Chains A and B, each alone.
Chain A
Amino acid sequence: MANRWTNDLTADDVTPKQAFLNRRHILAGGAGLGALAATGARAQDALEPNTLEEITTYNNFYEFGTGKSDPANNAHALQIDPWTITVDGMVDNPGEYSLAEVLDGMTIEDRLYRFRCVEAWSMVIPWNGFELADLLNRVGVQDGASHVAFQTVVQPDNMIGVRRGVLEFPYMEGLRLDEAMHPLTIMATGIYGEPLANQSGAPIRLVVPWKYGFKSIKSIDRITLMDKMPATTWNGINPREYGFYSNVNPEVDHPRWSQATERRIGGGLFNSRQDTLMFNGYGDDVADLYAGMDLAENY
Protein backbone atom coordinates (compact mmCIF):
# COMPACT_ATOMS: atom_id res chain seq x y z
CA MET A 1 0.00 0.00 0.00
CA ALA A 2 2.34 2.68 -1.20
CA ASN A 3 1.60 6.30 -2.10
CA ARG A 4 -0.21 7.01 1.14
CA TRP A 5 1.42 10.39 1.39
CA THR A 6 1.34 12.92 -1.40
CA ASN A 7 4.52 14.82 -1.78
CA ASP A 8 3.61 18.48 -1.82
CA LEU A 9 7.21 19.62 -2.07
CA THR A 10 8.64 19.93 -5.51
CA ALA A 11 11.43 21.88 -7.06
CA ASP A 12 8.86 24.00 -8.90
CA ASP A 13 7.05 24.75 -5.71
CA VAL A 14 7.98 28.38 -5.23
CA THR A 15 6.19 30.57 -2.75
CA PRO A 16 3.84 32.93 -4.57
CA LYS A 17 4.99 36.47 -4.18
CA GLN A 18 1.71 37.50 -2.58
CA ALA A 19 2.10 34.91 0.18
CA PHE A 20 5.62 36.07 0.75
CA LEU A 21 4.52 39.69 1.10
CA ASN A 22 1.68 38.71 3.41
CA ARG A 23 4.11 36.83 5.59
CA ARG A 24 6.38 39.85 5.89
CA HIS A 25 3.36 41.84 6.87
CA ILE A 26 2.20 39.30 9.41
CA LEU A 27 5.64 38.92 10.97
CA ALA A 28 5.90 42.67 11.29
CA GLY A 29 2.73 42.49 13.37
CA GLY A 30 4.48 39.97 15.57
CA ALA A 31 1.25 38.35 16.79
CA GLY A 32 1.35 34.72 17.87
CA LEU A 33 -1.41 33.90 15.43
CA GLY A 34 0.53 35.62 12.68
CA ALA A 35 3.58 33.48 13.39
CA LEU A 36 1.41 30.38 13.07
CA ALA A 37 0.10 31.43 9.68
CA ALA A 38 3.63 32.23 8.61
CA THR A 39 4.72 28.68 9.43
CA GLY A 40 2.24 27.31 6.91
CA ALA A 41 3.57 29.53 4.17
CA ARG A 42 7.15 28.90 5.23
CA ALA A 43 6.73 25.18 4.66
CA GLN A 44 6.73 25.85 0.95
CA ASP A 45 9.91 27.91 0.99
CA ALA A 46 13.33 26.99 -0.27
CA LEU A 47 12.48 23.71 -1.89
CA GLU A 48 15.24 23.68 -4.41
CA PRO A 49 17.02 20.42 -3.60
CA ASN A 50 20.69 20.53 -2.69
CA THR A 51 23.13 19.25 -5.29
CA LEU A 52 24.24 15.63 -5.18
CA GLU A 53 27.75 16.87 -4.49
CA GLU A 54 26.60 18.83 -1.43
CA ILE A 55 24.53 15.91 -0.22
CA THR A 56 27.38 13.42 -0.56
CA THR A 57 30.37 15.46 0.68
CA TYR A 58 29.03 16.94 3.92
CA ASN A 59 28.00 14.05 6.15
CA ASN A 60 27.94 12.74 9.67
CA PHE A 61 28.71 9.02 9.69
CA TYR A 62 31.00 8.47 12.66
CA GLU A 63 31.84 4.92 11.59
CA PHE A 64 33.98 6.64 8.95
CA GLY A 65 35.36 9.50 11.04
CA THR A 66 34.07 12.59 12.80
CA GLY A 67 34.93 15.23 10.17
CA LYS A 68 32.23 16.27 7.72
CA SER A 69 34.28 15.13 4.72
CA ASP A 70 35.57 11.93 6.38
CA PRO A 71 32.61 9.78 5.28
CA ALA A 72 33.05 10.83 1.64
CA ASN A 73 36.75 10.02 1.88
CA ASN A 74 36.51 6.75 3.81
CA ALA A 75 33.15 5.13 3.10
CA HIS A 76 34.31 3.52 -0.15
CA ALA A 77 35.55 0.69 2.09
CA LEU A 78 32.01 -0.24 3.16
CA GLN A 79 30.98 -3.65 1.81
CA ILE A 80 27.36 -3.50 0.68
CA ASP A 81 27.12 -6.63 -1.43
CA PRO A 82 25.89 -9.06 -0.22
CA TRP A 83 23.64 -7.28 2.27
CA THR A 84 21.23 -8.84 4.70
CA ILE A 85 18.88 -7.35 7.25
CA THR A 86 18.04 -9.34 10.33
CA VAL A 87 14.43 -8.80 11.35
CA ASP A 88 13.68 -10.11 14.82
CA GLY A 89 11.79 -9.54 18.04
CA MET A 90 8.00 -9.34 18.07
CA VAL A 91 7.35 -10.22 14.42
CA ASP A 92 5.51 -13.08 12.76
CA ASN A 93 8.20 -13.71 10.17
CA PRO A 94 11.59 -13.18 11.73
CA GLY A 95 14.69 -13.97 9.76
CA GLU A 96 17.65 -12.81 7.76
CA TYR A 97 16.41 -11.13 4.62
CA SER A 98 18.61 -10.35 1.68
CA LEU A 99 18.34 -6.83 0.32
CA ALA A 100 16.58 -8.20 -2.78
CA GLU A 101 14.01 -9.91 -0.57
CA VAL A 102 13.43 -6.70 1.37
CA LEU A 103 12.94 -4.68 -1.82
CA ASP A 104 10.79 -7.28 -3.57
CA GLY A 105 7.35 -5.82 -4.23
CA MET A 106 8.12 -2.47 -2.61
CA THR A 107 7.13 0.69 -4.45
CA ILE A 108 10.07 3.05 -4.69
CA GLU A 109 8.77 6.61 -4.56
CA ASP A 110 10.39 10.02 -4.92
CA ARG A 111 10.26 11.98 -1.68
CA LEU A 112 11.65 15.50 -1.58
CA TYR A 113 12.21 16.13 2.12
CA ARG A 114 13.81 18.78 4.21
CA PHE A 115 16.62 17.26 6.26
CA ARG A 116 17.51 19.03 9.50
CA CYS A 117 20.64 18.13 11.45
CA VAL A 118 20.73 18.67 15.22
CA GLU A 119 23.86 20.75 14.53
CA ALA A 120 21.55 23.43 13.12
CA TRP A 121 22.24 22.99 9.43
CA SER A 122 19.79 21.66 6.88
CA MET A 123 19.44 20.43 3.32
CA VAL A 124 16.64 19.48 0.94
CA ILE A 125 17.11 15.95 -0.37
CA PRO A 126 15.29 14.12 -3.17
CA TRP A 127 15.14 10.63 -1.70
CA ASN A 128 14.01 7.45 -3.40
CA GLY A 129 12.56 4.87 -1.08
CA PHE A 130 9.58 2.92 0.20
CA GLU A 131 7.44 3.32 3.26
CA LEU A 132 8.75 1.49 6.29
CA ALA A 133 5.14 0.56 7.09
CA ASP A 134 5.06 -1.67 4.02
CA LEU A 135 8.04 -3.65 5.27
CA LEU A 136 6.70 -3.86 8.81
CA ASN A 137 3.33 -5.06 7.56
CA ARG A 138 5.01 -7.73 5.49
CA VAL A 139 7.06 -9.14 8.37
CA GLY A 140 3.98 -8.95 10.59
CA VAL A 141 4.17 -6.85 13.72
CA GLN A 142 2.83 -8.79 16.71
CA ASP A 143 0.31 -7.41 19.16
CA GLY A 144 2.00 -5.69 22.04
CA ALA A 145 4.96 -4.42 20.05
CA SER A 146 5.32 -0.71 20.72
CA HIS A 147 8.74 0.27 19.34
CA VAL A 148 11.13 -0.47 16.51
CA ALA A 149 14.90 -0.59 17.01
CA PHE A 150 17.44 -0.23 14.20
CA GLN A 151 21.15 -0.96 13.98
CA THR A 152 23.87 0.14 11.59
CA VAL A 153 26.20 -2.53 10.27
CA VAL A 154 29.61 -2.83 11.95
CA GLN A 155 32.57 -3.67 9.71
CA PRO A 156 35.64 -2.85 11.83
CA ASP A 157 38.06 -3.68 9.02
CA ASN A 158 36.31 -1.21 6.74
CA MET A 159 35.32 1.45 9.26
CA ILE A 160 38.06 3.69 10.57
CA GLY A 161 35.79 5.33 13.14
CA VAL A 162 34.89 1.94 14.59
CA ARG A 163 38.57 1.05 14.97
CA ARG A 164 39.21 4.39 16.69
CA GLY A 165 36.32 3.85 19.08
CA VAL A 166 34.75 7.24 18.44
CA LEU A 167 31.44 5.95 19.82
CA GLU A 168 30.19 2.64 21.06
CA PHE A 169 29.14 0.66 18.01
CA PRO A 170 26.85 -0.61 16.53
CA TYR A 171 25.03 2.69 16.14
CA MET A 172 21.48 2.26 17.37
CA GLU A 173 18.30 4.20 16.76
CA GLY A 174 14.63 3.66 17.38
CA LEU A 175 11.09 4.87 16.80
CA ARG A 176 7.77 4.43 18.45
CA LEU A 177 5.65 2.03 16.38
CA ASP A 178 3.21 4.73 15.27
CA GLU A 179 6.13 6.91 14.12
CA ALA A 180 7.58 3.97 12.23
CA MET A 181 4.22 3.26 10.57
CA HIS A 182 3.68 6.88 9.56
CA PRO A 183 3.56 7.36 5.78
CA LEU A 184 6.29 10.02 5.94
CA THR A 185 8.75 7.49 7.36
CA ILE A 186 10.67 5.79 4.59
CA MET A 187 13.46 3.36 4.00
CA ALA A 188 15.61 5.13 1.42
CA THR A 189 17.64 3.31 -1.18
CA GLY A 190 18.60 6.21 -3.41
CA ILE A 191 18.99 9.94 -3.95
CA TYR A 192 18.32 11.67 -7.28
CA GLY A 193 17.48 8.27 -8.76
CA GLU A 194 20.97 6.97 -8.06
CA PRO A 195 21.69 4.23 -5.53
CA LEU A 196 22.70 5.69 -2.16
CA ALA A 197 26.35 6.64 -1.91
CA ASN A 198 28.07 4.68 0.85
CA GLN A 199 28.50 7.85 2.92
CA SER A 200 24.76 8.48 2.61
CA GLY A 201 23.98 5.13 4.23
CA ALA A 202 24.08 2.57 1.44
CA PRO A 203 22.45 0.32 0.63
CA ILE A 204 19.42 1.13 2.77
CA ARG A 205 18.67 3.65 5.49
CA LEU A 206 15.87 5.20 7.47
CA VAL A 207 14.55 8.71 6.75
CA VAL A 208 12.29 10.41 9.30
CA PRO A 209 12.00 13.96 8.02
CA TRP A 210 10.41 15.59 11.08
CA LYS A 211 13.21 14.45 13.41
CA TYR A 212 16.83 15.53 13.72
CA GLY A 213 19.04 13.76 11.22
CA PHE A 214 20.80 11.42 13.64
CA LYS A 215 17.48 9.55 14.02
CA SER A 216 17.62 8.66 10.32
CA ILE A 217 20.03 5.76 10.84
CA LYS A 218 22.22 4.62 7.97
CA SER A 219 23.28 1.28 6.47
CA ILE A 220 20.76 -0.76 8.47
CA ASP A 221 21.43 -4.46 9.05
CA ARG A 222 19.01 -5.15 11.90
CA ILE A 223 15.42 -4.22 12.69
CA THR A 224 13.92 -5.36 15.96
CA LEU A 225 10.33 -5.02 17.13
CA MET A 226 9.95 -4.71 20.88
CA ASP A 227 7.53 -3.75 23.63
CA LYS A 228 9.68 -1.06 25.24
CA MET A 229 11.61 2.01 24.23
CA PRO A 230 14.92 0.81 22.77
CA ALA A 231 18.33 2.13 23.80
CA THR A 232 19.70 4.57 21.23
CA THR A 233 23.29 5.68 20.73
CA TRP A 234 23.32 9.45 21.24
CA ASN A 235 20.67 9.28 23.92
CA GLY A 236 22.91 6.84 25.79
CA ILE A 237 25.91 9.15 25.51
CA ASN A 238 24.14 12.32 26.55
CA PRO A 239 20.44 12.01 27.42
CA ARG A 240 20.15 15.72 28.20
CA GLU A 241 21.28 16.65 24.68
CA TYR A 242 19.67 13.91 22.62
CA GLY A 243 16.15 12.87 23.58
CA PHE A 244 14.59 9.68 22.30
CA TYR A 245 12.03 11.63 20.28
CA SER A 246 14.33 14.37 18.96
CA ASN A 247 11.58 15.96 16.93
CA VAL A 248 12.73 19.13 15.22
CA ASN A 249 11.49 21.83 17.58
CA PRO A 250 12.67 25.44 17.51
CA GLU A 251 11.29 26.01 21.01
CA VAL A 252 13.19 23.26 22.78
CA ASP A 253 16.69 24.52 23.20
CA HIS A 254 19.63 22.19 22.88
CA PRO A 255 22.58 22.63 25.25
CA ARG A 256 24.99 22.81 22.32
CA TRP A 257 23.18 24.49 19.47
CA SER A 258 20.35 26.94 19.39
CA GLN A 259 17.52 25.22 17.55
CA ALA A 260 15.60 28.42 16.86
CA THR A 261 17.39 28.97 13.56
CA GLU A 262 19.27 26.90 11.02
CA ARG A 263 21.57 27.37 8.08
CA ARG A 264 20.47 25.87 4.82
CA ILE A 265 23.51 24.31 3.18
CA GLY A 266 24.50 25.81 -0.15
CA GLY A 267 24.42 29.56 0.48
CA GLY A 268 28.14 30.21 0.61
CA LEU A 269 30.19 32.28 3.03
CA PHE A 270 27.52 34.93 3.60
CA ASN A 271 24.61 32.51 3.94
CA SER A 272 22.00 33.83 6.34
CA ARG A 273 20.15 31.88 8.99
CA GLN A 274 16.49 31.05 8.70
CA ASP A 275 13.90 30.19 11.31
CA THR A 276 13.54 26.52 12.10
CA LEU A 277 10.08 25.08 11.48
CA MET A 278 8.19 23.05 14.07
CA PHE A 279 8.49 19.36 13.16
CA ASN A 280 10.74 20.57 10.36
CA GLY A 281 7.64 21.84 8.55
CA TYR A 282 5.74 18.53 8.76
CA GLY A 283 3.51 19.53 11.67
CA ASP A 284 0.30 19.11 9.67
CA ASP A 285 1.21 15.48 9.07
CA VAL A 286 2.73 14.41 12.37
CA ALA A 287 1.59 16.72 15.20
CA ASP A 288 -1.26 14.30 15.99
CA LEU A 289 1.25 11.62 16.94
CA TYR A 290 2.20 13.72 19.94
CA ALA A 291 -1.21 15.05 20.96
CA GLY A 292 -1.32 15.62 24.70
CA MET A 293 2.43 15.13 25.14
CA ASP A 294 4.60 17.83 26.66
CA LEU A 295 7.21 18.23 23.94
CA ALA A 296 9.53 20.22 26.22
CA GLU A 297 9.51 17.21 28.53
CA ASN A 298 9.64 14.57 25.76
CA TYR A 299 12.27 16.20 23.59
Chain B
Amino acid sequence: MDFVRTINQATRKLPAWPIYIVAAVYVGWQFWLALNQSGRYLVEPINELEREYGETALLLLIAGLTVTPLRNWFGLNLIKYRRAIGITTFFLVLAHFLVWAVLDVQSVGRVWQETVKRPYVTVGMAAFVLLIPLALTSNNLSIRKLGAAGWRRLHRLTYPAAILAGLHYLWLVKGFQIDAIVYLAVILALLMVRFLRSRVRDRREQAG
Protein backbone atom coordinates (compact mmCIF):
# COMPACT_ATOMS: atom_id res chain seq x y z
CA MET B 1 0.00 0.00 0.00
CA ASP B 2 2.01 2.93 -1.35
CA PHE B 3 -0.55 5.44 -0.18
CA VAL B 4 -0.24 4.28 3.42
CA ARG B 5 3.55 4.23 3.22
CA THR B 6 3.61 7.79 1.88
CA ILE B 7 1.46 9.03 4.74
CA ASN B 8 3.45 7.12 7.32
CA GLN B 9 6.65 8.65 5.99
CA ALA B 10 5.16 12.11 5.91
CA THR B 11 3.97 11.88 9.51
CA ARG B 12 7.50 11.20 10.64
CA LYS B 13 8.30 14.77 9.71
CA LEU B 14 5.03 16.37 10.81
CA PRO B 15 4.93 17.17 14.52
CA ALA B 16 1.76 16.98 16.64
CA TRP B 17 2.00 20.35 18.34
CA PRO B 18 0.29 22.36 15.55
CA ILE B 19 -2.91 20.55 16.52
CA TYR B 20 -2.96 22.54 19.78
CA ILE B 21 -2.37 25.81 17.95
CA VAL B 22 -5.11 25.15 15.42
CA ALA B 23 -7.53 24.17 18.19
CA ALA B 24 -6.75 27.26 20.26
CA VAL B 25 -7.16 29.55 17.25
CA TYR B 26 -10.42 27.81 16.34
CA VAL B 27 -11.87 28.19 19.86
CA GLY B 28 -10.83 31.83 20.05
CA TRP B 29 -12.09 32.62 16.56
CA GLN B 30 -15.53 31.12 17.15
CA PHE B 31 -15.78 32.98 20.45
CA TRP B 32 -14.87 36.21 18.69
CA LEU B 33 -17.52 35.62 16.00
CA ALA B 34 -20.12 34.90 18.67
CA LEU B 35 -19.12 37.97 20.65
CA ASN B 36 -19.62 40.10 17.56
CA GLN B 37 -22.77 38.21 16.61
CA SER B 38 -21.43 37.73 13.15
CA GLY B 39 -22.98 35.40 10.58
CA ARG B 40 -24.94 32.56 12.13
CA TYR B 41 -24.21 33.96 15.60
CA LEU B 42 -26.40 36.97 14.86
CA VAL B 43 -29.54 36.06 16.73
CA GLU B 44 -28.73 33.53 19.45
CA PRO B 45 -24.94 33.47 19.90
CA ILE B 46 -25.02 31.56 23.20
CA ASN B 47 -26.86 28.52 21.95
CA GLU B 48 -25.02 28.55 18.66
CA LEU B 49 -21.56 28.66 20.28
CA GLU B 50 -22.54 25.92 22.71
CA ARG B 51 -23.52 23.69 19.80
CA GLU B 52 -20.47 24.59 17.75
CA TYR B 53 -18.02 23.57 20.50
CA GLY B 54 -20.08 20.51 21.39
CA GLU B 55 -20.26 19.18 17.87
CA THR B 56 -16.56 19.78 17.24
CA ALA B 57 -15.75 17.95 20.48
CA LEU B 58 -17.81 15.01 19.27
CA LEU B 59 -15.98 14.99 15.94
CA LEU B 60 -12.61 15.05 17.71
CA LEU B 61 -13.69 12.24 20.00
CA ILE B 62 -14.49 10.19 16.92
CA ALA B 63 -11.19 11.17 15.30
CA GLY B 64 -9.34 9.90 18.37
CA LEU B 65 -11.21 6.60 18.20
CA THR B 66 -10.20 6.02 14.58
CA VAL B 67 -6.45 6.04 15.27
CA THR B 68 -6.15 2.46 16.51
CA PRO B 69 -8.43 0.82 13.92
CA LEU B 70 -6.62 2.68 11.11
CA ARG B 71 -3.35 1.18 12.32
CA ASN B 72 -4.73 -2.29 12.93
CA TRP B 73 -6.64 -2.64 9.69
CA PHE B 74 -4.73 -0.47 7.26
CA GLY B 75 -1.28 -0.09 8.78
CA LEU B 76 -1.76 3.66 8.89
CA ASN B 77 0.25 4.99 11.82
CA LEU B 78 -1.15 8.19 13.30
CA ILE B 79 -0.47 7.23 16.90
CA LYS B 80 1.83 10.18 17.54
CA TYR B 81 -1.13 12.54 17.07
CA ARG B 82 -3.47 10.70 19.39
CA ARG B 83 -2.46 12.45 22.58
CA ALA B 84 -2.87 15.87 20.97
CA ILE B 85 -6.27 14.84 19.58
CA GLY B 86 -7.33 13.53 22.98
CA ILE B 87 -6.24 16.59 24.93
CA THR B 88 -7.80 18.89 22.34
CA THR B 89 -11.05 16.92 22.64
CA PHE B 90 -11.02 17.52 26.37
CA PHE B 91 -10.52 21.25 25.96
CA LEU B 92 -13.36 21.46 23.45
CA VAL B 93 -15.63 19.61 25.86
CA LEU B 94 -14.50 22.01 28.58
CA ALA B 95 -15.30 25.00 26.34
CA HIS B 96 -18.71 23.47 25.54
CA PHE B 97 -19.35 22.98 29.27
CA LEU B 98 -18.25 26.51 30.17
CA VAL B 99 -20.45 28.16 27.55
CA TRP B 100 -23.37 26.12 28.84
CA ALA B 101 -22.68 26.72 32.54
CA VAL B 102 -21.56 30.35 32.48
CA LEU B 103 -23.37 31.89 29.51
CA ASP B 104 -26.42 29.67 29.13
CA VAL B 105 -27.79 28.43 32.46
CA GLN B 106 -25.84 31.11 34.36
CA SER B 107 -25.81 29.78 37.92
CA VAL B 108 -24.23 26.98 39.94
CA GLY B 109 -27.64 26.05 41.31
CA ARG B 110 -29.09 25.66 37.83
CA VAL B 111 -26.05 23.69 36.62
CA TRP B 112 -26.74 21.21 39.40
CA GLN B 113 -30.51 21.18 38.84
CA GLU B 114 -30.15 20.63 35.12
CA THR B 115 -27.59 17.86 35.63
CA VAL B 116 -29.80 15.99 38.05
CA LYS B 117 -33.10 16.54 36.28
CA ARG B 118 -32.39 16.15 32.61
CA PRO B 119 -31.09 12.85 31.32
CA TYR B 120 -29.36 14.37 28.29
CA VAL B 121 -27.46 16.73 30.56
CA THR B 122 -26.70 13.91 33.00
CA VAL B 123 -25.07 11.73 30.35
CA GLY B 124 -23.21 14.69 28.87
CA MET B 125 -21.86 15.61 32.27
CA ALA B 126 -20.89 11.99 32.92
CA ALA B 127 -18.91 11.93 29.67
CA PHE B 128 -17.15 15.14 30.70
CA VAL B 129 -16.27 13.76 34.14
CA LEU B 130 -14.91 10.54 32.61
CA LEU B 131 -12.62 12.59 30.39
CA ILE B 132 -11.03 14.50 33.29
CA PRO B 133 -8.72 11.70 34.55
CA LEU B 134 -7.80 10.95 30.94
CA ALA B 135 -6.74 14.54 30.30
CA LEU B 136 -4.80 14.62 33.57
CA THR B 137 -2.88 11.44 32.71
CA SER B 138 -2.15 12.25 29.07
CA ASN B 139 1.56 12.69 29.71
CA ASN B 140 4.65 10.51 29.84
CA LEU B 141 5.08 10.80 33.58
CA SER B 142 1.62 9.33 34.18
CA ILE B 143 2.29 6.46 31.80
CA ARG B 144 5.43 5.65 33.76
CA LYS B 145 3.69 5.91 37.11
CA LEU B 146 0.64 3.90 36.14
CA GLY B 147 2.53 1.38 34.06
CA ALA B 148 1.64 0.74 30.44
CA ALA B 149 -1.06 -1.82 31.24
CA GLY B 150 -2.62 0.27 33.99
CA TRP B 151 -2.57 3.39 31.86
CA ARG B 152 -4.21 1.57 28.97
CA ARG B 153 -6.89 0.19 31.26
CA LEU B 154 -7.63 3.67 32.60
CA HIS B 155 -7.82 5.12 29.13
CA ARG B 156 -10.48 2.61 28.10
CA LEU B 157 -12.77 5.13 29.84
CA THR B 158 -12.76 6.80 26.43
CA TYR B 159 -15.20 4.13 25.24
CA PRO B 160 -18.02 4.77 27.74
CA ALA B 161 -17.33 8.52 27.44
CA ALA B 162 -17.79 8.33 23.66
CA ILE B 163 -21.03 6.37 23.94
CA LEU B 164 -22.37 8.83 26.52
CA ALA B 165 -21.39 11.78 24.33
CA GLY B 166 -23.20 10.26 21.34
CA LEU B 167 -26.26 9.60 23.51
CA HIS B 168 -26.11 13.16 24.86
CA TYR B 169 -26.53 14.54 21.36
CA LEU B 170 -29.16 12.04 20.23
CA TRP B 171 -31.21 12.69 23.37
CA LEU B 172 -30.97 16.43 22.94
CA VAL B 173 -32.32 16.70 19.41
CA LYS B 174 -36.02 16.57 18.66
CA GLY B 175 -37.63 14.50 15.94
CA PHE B 176 -35.70 12.27 13.56
CA GLN B 177 -32.35 13.98 12.99
CA ILE B 178 -29.97 11.98 10.91
CA ASP B 179 -26.66 13.52 12.02
CA ALA B 180 -27.21 12.66 15.69
CA ILE B 181 -27.94 9.08 14.71
CA VAL B 182 -24.91 8.91 12.43
CA TYR B 183 -22.57 10.15 15.18
CA LEU B 184 -23.71 7.50 17.63
CA ALA B 185 -23.64 4.80 14.93
CA VAL B 186 -20.06 5.70 13.99
CA ILE B 187 -18.98 5.64 17.63
CA LEU B 188 -20.57 2.23 18.17
CA ALA B 189 -19.04 0.91 14.94
CA LEU B 190 -15.56 2.08 15.96
CA LEU B 191 -15.91 0.36 19.33
CA MET B 192 -17.29 -2.79 17.69
CA VAL B 193 -14.29 -2.96 15.38
CA ARG B 194 -12.00 -2.99 18.43
CA PHE B 195 -14.02 -5.69 20.07
CA LEU B 196 -13.92 -7.88 16.95
CA ARG B 197 -10.19 -7.40 16.63
CA SER B 198 -9.48 -8.44 20.20
CA ARG B 199 -11.70 -11.54 19.82
CA VAL B 200 -9.81 -12.55 16.69
CA ARG B 201 -6.54 -12.04 18.54
CA ASP B 202 -7.70 -14.04 21.54
CA ARG B 203 -8.65 -16.94 19.30
CA ARG B 204 -5.32 -16.84 17.52
CA GLU B 205 -3.50 -16.86 20.82
CA GLN B 206 -5.56 -19.81 22.04
CA ALA B 207 -4.86 -21.69 18.84
CA GLY B 208 -1.21 -20.56 19.19
| Nearest neighbor of A272 in chain B, beta-carbon distance | B106
Known: A253-B117, A255-B118. A268 touches B45 (CB 8 A): yes
Q: Are B178 and A58 in contact (CB under 8 A)?
A: no
B166-186, CB < 8 A from A: 173-178
| Nearest neighbor of A161 in chain B, beta-carbon distance | B175
| Nearest neighbor of B177 in chain A, beta-carbon distance | A66
Output the least CB separation between B108 and chain A (Å).
14
Q: Are B44 and A58 in contact (CB under 8 A)?
A: yes
Q: Are A269 and B43 in contact (CB under 8 A)?
A: no
Q: Which residues of A contact B47 (CB under 8 A)?
A: 68, 121
Output the least CB separation between B123 and chain A (Å).
13
For chain B, give the interface size range: 20 to 34
Known: A270-B103, A272-B106. A166 touches B177 (CB 8 A): yes
Q: Are B35 and A269 in contact (CB under 8 A)?
A: yes
Q: Are A265 and B176 in contact (CB under 8 A)?
A: no
Q: Are B43 and A266 in contact (CB under 8 A)?
A: yes
B30-55, CB < 8 A from A: 34-35, 37, 40-49
Output the least CB separation between B95 and chain A (Å).
13
Q: Which residues of B contact A54 (CB under 8 A)?
A: 42-43
Q: Does chain A have a CB within 8 A of B152?
A: no
Among A166, A258, A270, A271, the residue within 8 A (CB) of B110 is: A258
Q: Are A66 and B37 in contact (CB under 8 A)?
A: no
Q: Does chain A have a CB within 8 A of B120?
A: yes
Q: Are A57 and B43 in contact (CB under 8 A)?
A: yes
Q: Does chain A have a CB within 8 A of B139?
A: no
Known: A268-B45, A269-B49. A164 touches B110 (CB 8 A): no
Q: How far is the CA of A68 from the CA of B44 in the complex (A)?
A: 9
Q: Are A68 and B43 in contact (CB under 8 A)?
A: yes
Q: How far is the CA of A269 from the CA of B104 in the complex (A)?
A: 9
Q: Does chain A have a CB within 8 A of B8?
A: no
Known: A53-B42, A269-B34. A167 touches B176 (CB 8 A): yes
Output the least CB separation between B180 and chain A (Å).
10
Output the least CB separation between B59 and chain A (Å).
17
Q: Which residues of B contact A231 (CB under 8 A)?
A: none
Q: Does chain B have a CB within 8 A of A138?
A: no
Q: How far is the CA of A273 from the CA of B106 in the complex (A)?
A: 8
| Nearest neighbor of A273 in chain B, beta-carbon distance | B106
Q: Are A165 and B45 in contact (CB under 8 A)?
A: no
Q: Are B176 and A121 in contact (CB under 8 A)?
A: no
Q: Are B177 and A57 in contact (CB under 8 A)?
A: no
Output the least CB separation between B56 and chain A (Å).
16
Q: How far is the CA of A237 from the CA of B35 in the complex (A)?
A: 36
Q: Which residues of B contact A269 (CB under 8 A)?
A: 34-35, 37, 41, 45-46, 49, 103
Q: Which residues of B contact A164 (CB under 8 A)?
A: 176, 178
Listed from nearest, the 3 A-B pairs whose CB atoms lie closest are A58-B43, A166-B175, A269-B45
Q: Chain A interface (Cβ within 8 Å of chain B)? A: 53-54, 57-58, 62, 66, 68-69, 121, 164-167, 237, 253, 255-256, 258, 263, 265-266, 268-273
